[in-house]
Structure 1
Amino acid sequence: MFYIDDFIPMYRCFQNIVASLPSLVVCCYLRLKMTPKSTTIFLQKLRSSMQNTKYVKEPISAYIVPSSDAHNSEYLAECDEFRAFISGFTGSAGTAIITQNEALLYTDGRYFLQASQQLDSNWTLAKEGLPTTLSQGDWLSKYLAKGSRIGVDPKVYSYDKFKLLHTKLEATGHQLVPVATNLIDLLWTDRPARPTNPVKPLAVKYTGTTIGQKLKSVNDSMKEKNAEYLVLTALDEIAYFLNLRGSDIEFNPVFFSYVIIGDNCFTLFINSKQVGKEVLDHLNEQVAGNFKIEPYENIEKKLEELAKQVDGYIWFSEHSSYTLVDLVPKKNRITTDITPICLMKAIKNPVEIQGMRNCHIRDAAALCCYFSWLEQNVDREKITEVSGAQKLLEFRKLQSDFVGPSFDTISSVGPHGAIIHYQPSDSTDVRITSDQLYLCDSGGQYLDGTTDVTRTLHFGNPTLFEKDCYTRVLKGQLKLASRIFPSKIRGNYLDSFAREFLWQVGLDFAHGTGHGIGSYLNVHEGPMGISWRPIDTDPGLQPGMFISNEPGYYQDGEFGLRIEDIVLVIEAKPPHNHANRGYLTFETVCLVPKINKLILVDMLTDEELEQLNSYHRQCVEVVGPLLEQQGQMQAREWLIRETRPLTR
């Protein structure tokens, strides 16, 4: 196996020749082996199926393939990657729209560069979030003949999205129709089987509350809405509610299931192979037998039965699949709203809060070990994006209660860092060197919490422009971390704090600034977030929520940099409390040094300088003793050196 960086000297000469060309051309040499998947035959067959009344009641003019499964999951098991199969684009967010003449891939700013590399010539990239990009509904309305039928698999399309798009299309003379047969499944002859991995209980010493306590709280919320039943479809909500964890989706400790909650009881729909004696004992102990277990595929039959006898309401999440909600024929018996489990899960209890603090300390120790090792060896041996990520995993495995990574490590060098969610592979792997920025975004799943940390490093001499960009990102992160804001304000109102110093010089980043994070659950967790784009379901920031603080900057074809911490929302104590509203601020729980070499100190205010030095003192005081206890003296020395107080 060879690495493209073996040809770097030749590339450097070539670079001077193409300096005046677009940045994508400059970096293409480093990505010679990233060949898009050929989709011509698959699109031909799909378009044929769209006209075949064996699969559709009437021919359809367009077919929508979302990036989700029957549970509206962000990250998917291989068997549910329909959009990736038909388009070749493997990012976690995106929607494919196929007509008889066009194929569009919609995705957001995190994936513009990746999608442009992975899509073949059959596809057009629609960049969501840009003012010049038509929404999916507007594009379909504009370019399809009036009266067109647009199909979608209702099992993997959420009820709220279906309603919204249906209303939009109907207003312009089109019709959105559910197609019972998944047309991509017809093409995917070697589609993997659905995972049925064993499920395991999570002890109360990690969860802080029992199922019975959660059930009582949920029942109270149900009574307020006159709901006889609550249907849980989101896999992380089910895992949280039942104090169970699984491994059916890589990096996400969840398992394929549904739950219907009634009055002081619930039914779990799951493959029986996944439920052993340990799980049954756990459920009996925490809810005293007030539960039933039925096969996973029985959910539709059960809902049809309940729909015939319900007097109150059946409560669905607005993100439940259209198929499930549509099983209740009396629409006045349905309420669709954010579930009480979603909010309960987002606001961590004291045990979960302490667990999140603790696991971030251990995770910081692992990262210090990795970065110090990398610094020592980057010029001594060939360390690549892939082998570096593997070494980081080895250091995390040394930490107590470690289960596995919380997502695929983004280990990216130079131009690869500009691909916001880059995933190194054998075909794109390059050497980590001392003359390019190295961006490492990684996280761990621990029994007591979940981590997500990004640091950008340089082991040689960064350019003035790289330092300027890094310092502006750092200033934005420090500013957001220190803000005081009213209780329950939506994260959208805080987003510009992180971008202010980039905006001053006409720079920006195309992703959100913060996402919620689970407690030994999904690394991306709603319903709150910090983004330039309003989040409709955001209930407002409240004490006990954990959220990321991760501004960045990406120079296509050259480098990417991001600084990410996880912060805890806590109460603030300003001198006034207008209207008794209550005020909040953030506590940073990630304790990994920022990189002093990349900071232009003269750009920092005195307040920012003290804030950074105070943070670094905390890193040494908290993580240093753990490294010493673990005998990681090289890492401890690196930590002390990287946290030396900065002065003018």
Structure 2
Amino acid sequence: MNLLRMTPKCTTNLLQKLRGYMKNTKYVKEPIHAYIVPSSDAHNSEYLAECDKFRDFISGFTGSAGTAIITENEALLYTDGRYYLQASQQLDPNWTLAKEGQPTTPAQGDWLSKTLPKGSRIGVDPKVYSFDKFKSLHSKLEATGHELVPVSTNLIELLWADRPARPTNPVKPLGLKYTGTTVDNKLKSLNDSMKEKNAEYLVLSALDEIAYFLNLRGSDIEFNPVFFSYVLIANNSFTLFINDKQVSKDVLNHLNTQVSGNYKIEPYENVYKKLEELGRQVNGNVWFSEQSSHALVDLIPTNRRITTDVTPIAIMKAIKNPVEIKGMRNCHIRDAAALCCYFSWLEHNVNKEKITEISGAEKLEGFRKQQEDFVGPSFDTISSVGPHGAIIHYKPTKETDVQITSDQLYLCDSGGQYLDGTTDVTRTLHFGNPTQYEKECYTRVLKGQLKLGSRIFPLKIRGNCLDSFAREYLWQVGLDYAHGTGHGIGSYLNVHEGPMGISWRPIDTDPGLQVGMFVSNEPGYYQDGDFGLRIEDIVEIVEANPPHNFANRGYLTFETITLVPKMNKLILVDMLTDEEIKQLNDYHQKCVEVVGPLLEQQGQMQAREWLIRETRPISRKN
């Protein structure tokens, strides 16, 4: 199968008009020489509502990570290794792809400093550019004789005649059955953290932090159960800024039940006015996340005290409580049942009827819908055949959709939102005869995943220290993958959750791995134009008991809660050690023991038979 290329968006006229706006003092105080368009909204969200996809609109690139930089003569799109291939297909000839993470790619500030004449002004909308990024880039540009300036009018919005309206979808309470603790308890904990920082106020702008704090969920951003809002926290009180339409009687009853102190509800847009007022009278610190927008932080004058750091709620949210831990484990069991149903159905029918990447993804969602407490997918299913699998965050469209066959590898990365948790799992399958090279690559990815999944490590070590375990067997033969190895995951919240992670890049906000956190374990390998491989599990961080405990530091390990078989057909058993064979066989035995009874209970006997067959113990041939 040849790779079906995506049709780039023609951006010639858009860039011409944008360059005109960059010189027009009706929209900028003084002409600017470059304009930066990040891939974020006013809340620094990873995934965006349609109305906030400014970078997509100007560039045509639709990946979740990337920054567009437009000058008088050039247009650059910076993105990371997950999207190199996708961006190369979606950008028209007006654009140059800058591959972040490669040694030859200059940092954005370096490129601007070298490309633009001395004294250049670089503009950005401060409402969609985080404070930490603005501060860092401002310092770098200032040192080279340039200036980073906030542009209050979003220049892309001027071009976007049919820009969608901001969603105001219903907000719903999430009960104690799923959250495990009240808003009151969370507020008390936050107030304690604020006292330690001498913070009089704490500003929450990240949407998942607000949803978590208030035990509320929404649907303003597809696949992410969040709603547009801000929260200003004071001592034993808070103000919620949200669209009035989203505050139902159920929401008010929920807050009145779970909050003993004072709280107010004000319109969403009032947050700027409120912080402006606060800036004139506050005596103590105002605490913002370092990822709050520059526009928000800038409302507090420099003569006042500002703290910019990871919010206490980010860490509270990452360390699941006992109810959330139980929910995460349980929803992964039900999710595994749905995946077993899908993969067994696929294997049974792939040569009998036409199943495509899109229709396969729809069938999988149908199986998930049969599971208790299912709400919807946690992201667009990456259902990818052959060379499409090498596009790391591939999303099938009508234009690119192809048939799933028994001739090529099939990579399926999918997840579900359940009331008791969020799932994210990737399996790579082959329904025919994989090549020896495909098997070797798969086995090297598997060996790395098994190694990382069985590590013992000190309490609060950063995930960056563990990343190379997953890459070791690929590195041995000069292979690698251009994405991180693990991300945090929410509890019926965002599928990608910080502040911790496992990556070759250091994560400055990582507080260190702790009991109760959940992260992914997902090494892969991608051969452009040919195939992609990834194996992804969600793992829970639990206590370990090694024979020694240096300095009483405490040691941790991972427990895999994803319970879906790994395809034995793709494994070169002779490449595995005895320890790895035992680890895989034990894992498969657990899949059968935990998921098998649920499939039987649900009457899914074909899926149960598939599960039993796919988890047969492996051994070396004598």
> Could you tell me the TM-score, scaled by structure 1's length?
0.95
Give me the whole-angstrom Cα distance separating, in 2, the residues matched to 1:97 and 1:35.
22
Give the corresponding residue for 2:4: 31
Which residue among 574, 599, 603 is the counterpart of 1:631? Answer: 603
Q: Distance in 1 between matches of 2:398 and 2:4?
A: 11
* Distance apart, 1:332 and its partner CA: 4.1
Give the alignment of 1:326-475 within 5 angstroms. Answer: 326-475=298-447
> Could you tell me how far apart the structure 2 residues matched to 1:539 and 1:470 are?
32
> 1:12 is matched with which residue?
none
Residue 57 of structure 1 corresponds to 29
**Cα distance in 2 between the residues matched to 1:336 and 1:289:** 26
Distance 1:313 1:578 in 2: 38
Match of 2:88 in 1: 116
Please state how far the C-alpha of 1:288 moved relative to its aligned partner.
Answer: 2.8
Is 2:279–2:304's contact at 8 Å kept on the other side of the alignment? no
Alignment partner of 1:285 out of 242, 245, 257: 257
SS at match of 2:97: strand
Aligned to 2:129: 157
Distance of 1:288 and 1:510 partners within structure 2: 48
Q: Deviations over 1:471-499 (max 9, x none)?
A: 00000000000000000000000000000
> Is the 8 Å Cα contact of residues 236 and 261 (structure 2) preserved in structure 1?
no
Please give the secondary structure, in 2, of the residue aligned with 1:538: coil
Q: What does residue range 87-106 of structure 1 map to in structure 2 within 5 Å?
A: 87-106=59-78
Equivalent of 1:204 in 166, 169, 176: 176
Gaps of 5+ in 1: 1-7, 9-26
Contact kept in structure 2, 1:313 and 1:334, CA below 8 Å: yes
Letter in 2 for 1:620: V
State the AA in 2 paired with 1:556.
D
Q: Could you tell me which amino acid in structure 2 is paired with residue 110 of structure 1? A: R
CA distance in 2, matches of 1:224, 1:511: 36
- Which whole-Å deviations, capped at 9, do the CAs of 1:501-530 have from their partners, x for residues lacking one? 000000000000000000000000000000
2:375–2:419 contact (8 Å) kept in structure 1: yes
Q: Distance in 1 between matches of 2:227 and 2:495?
A: 15
Q: Distance in 2 between matches of 1:70 and 1:331?
A: 24
Give the conservation status (yes or no) of the 8 Å contact 1:283–1:289: no
Aligned residue among 111, 116, 120 for 1:148: 120
CA contact (8 A) 2:171 2:219 kept: yes
Quick one: distance in 2 between partners of 1:503 and 1:319? 34
After superposition, residues 577-616 of structure 1 pair within 5 angstroms as 577-616=549-588
Name 1:323's counterpart in structure 2: 295
Contact kept? 1:572, 1:583, Cα under 8 Å: yes
Distance in 1 between residues matched to 2:325 and 2:386, nearest whole Å:
36
The answer to whether residue 228 in structure 2 is matched with residue 247 in structure 1 is no
Partners of 2:118 and 2:302 in 1: CA distance: 31
Residue 313 in structure 1 maps to residue 285 in structure 2: yes
2:460 paired residue among 474, 478, 488: 488
The residue type equivalent to 2:544 in the other structure is: A
The offset of 1:309, in angstroms, is: 1.4
Q: Once the two structures are superposed, what CA deviation does each residue of 1:288-323 show, in whole Å capped at 9, x if it has no partner?
A: 362100000000000011111111011000000000
* Of 302-311 and 96-105, the range deviating more from structure 2: 302-311
Pair 1:175-2:147 in alignment: yes
Counterparts of 1:325 and 1:493, CA distance in 2 = 32
Q: Could you list the per-position Cα deviations for residues 165-207 of structure 1 after superposition, in whole angstroms to 9, with x for gaps in the alignment? A: 0000000000000000000000000000000001000001100
Partner Cα distance (1:437, 1:406) in 2 = 23
C-alpha offsets along residues 27-65 of structure 1, whole Å, 9 cap, x if unaligned? Answer: 4xx315x21000000000000000000000000000000
1:504 counterpart (458, 469, 476): 476
1:605 Cα deviation after fit: 0.1
How many equivalent pairs are there?
Answer: 620
Contact 1:439-1:456 at 8 Å conserved across structures: yes
- Counterparts of 1:332 and 1:296 in 2: how far apart (Å)? 24
The letter for the 2-side match of 1:447 is L
Question: What corresponds to 1:132 in structure 2?
Answer: 104
Task: Rate the CA distance shift 1:370–1:643 in 2: closer, same or farther, 3 A.
Answer: same
Structure-1 separation of matches of 2:117 and 2:350: 58
Deviations 1:345-402 (A, max 9, x none): 0000000000000000000000000000000000000000000000000000000000
C-alpha separation between the residues in 2 aligned to 1:314 and 1:321?
A: 14
Cα drift, residue 331 of structure 1: 4.5
Q: 1:230 aligns with which of 190, 202, 205?
A: 202
SS in structure 2 at match of 1:474: helix
Structure 2 contact 283–304 (Cα < 8 Å) conserved = no
Deviation at 1:330, TM superposition (A): 3.2
Could you list the runs of 4 or more consecutive aligned residues of structure 1 that deviate by over 6 angstroms after TM superposition? none
The amino acid across from 1:460 in the alignment is G
